[in-house]
Amino acid sequence: MNRFATKQCTVGRVLSFTGIGVHNGKPSSLTIEAAAVDSGYAIRRKLDDESYSATMPLHHNRVSRTYLCTAVDLGDAGTVSMIEHMVSALSGMGIDNALITVEGNECPVLDGSARKYVEAIVASGIETQPAEKMFIKIKRSVTVRSNDAFAALEPYNGRAFDVEIDFESDVIGRQRMIFDWSPKRYVDDVSQARTFGFIKDAKVLRQAGYALGSSLENSIAVDEGKILNQDGLRYEDEFVRHKLLDAVGDLALAGMPIYGKFRSYKGGHGLNALVLNSLFASEQNYEIVPASALPLEFDALEELPAGLELRGYIRSVG
């Protein structure tokens, strides 16, 4: 394996993003910068007086809301919502450690996918760090259910996702995607898939304070059997790919990458959060292992997207 496959990684420089919140419709900005080894993903808010809130681990036990998005509780600083696309990009690209600063209480939706985050990471390069990558290895299957919907984590020799959706819509219907992860496959097959919604639900959502910033520039709009976006879909099955993108982000709140298989049917943010809670309910369900202890078949970390530069550790952070 190469250094990227065995060493922890962080971003190569500070990455900055501005836009609006898809739900609150307000301007927001976000930065991602390098963080020290073993720090994982940490998040803070930049406050109105230019000071910063306390930095908190971006972890599943801080999830405070899962309706339409994933929101995390930052204590006295309130909540930050819509974190899943940004975290999906970090996890999908194999980043282990990062400090995230959000100005506002919602991450910018950008184009509704993880594409702009990924493009920025590729442009900045990735910095390897002097510590071994660690994984959460699934030892025993856990499953959570809600009526006929479910989410599960299972032992598996790799990092895989099997996501299926089923909507009463001629445009969407039943779609399934089985995805064996690598950074390159994430960039090519997942990162560009946009969030979506139904026109028939828009009025009710807006009255409830959601989707106030939603538009055809950041969402796929479905209306009575047709897609309203002039340019159509980026993938033929973009809907299930976006659900998979969300799952990558939600599961990254485990604190380190999961070595195993995630399966879901009619899932979403709520079940994604619950399956992590179930996983960590017993230490018999998992173990923490270094990359060097994983089978040699797990070589996905070596498959990198075109143009991504890896640099050795040259500075101290944190």
State the virtual CA torsion across 103, 54, 208, 31 in degrees, nearest 10: 30
- Distance between CA atoms of 160 and 251, rounded to whole angstroms? 12
Backbone phi and psi for residue 13, each to the nearest 5 degrees, phi listed first: -160, 175
Catalytic position from the list 59, 60, 242, 269:
269
Report DSSP letters for 50-85, one per residue: S-BPPPEE--GGGEEE-SSS-EEE-GGG-EEE--HH
Known catalytic residue at 23: no
The residue among 68, 111, 115 whose CA lies nearest residue 89 is 115
Residue 94: alpha-carbon gap to chain centroid: 11
Query: If residue 240 lies in a helix (H) or strand (E), which one and from where to where?
Result: helix 238-251
Composition of the chain by helix, strand, coil, percent to 5: 25, 35, 40
293 contact partners, CB below 8 Å, separation of at least 6 = none
Residue 213: alpha-carbon gap to chain centroid: 20
Residue 218: alpha-carbon gap to chain centroid: 17
Q: How many CA atoms lie within 13 A of 220 on its CB side?
A: 25
Which residues sit opposite 259 in a β-bridge?
A: 137
Residue 290: alpha-carbon gap to chain centroid: 22
Which residues are known catalytic residues?
Answer: 269
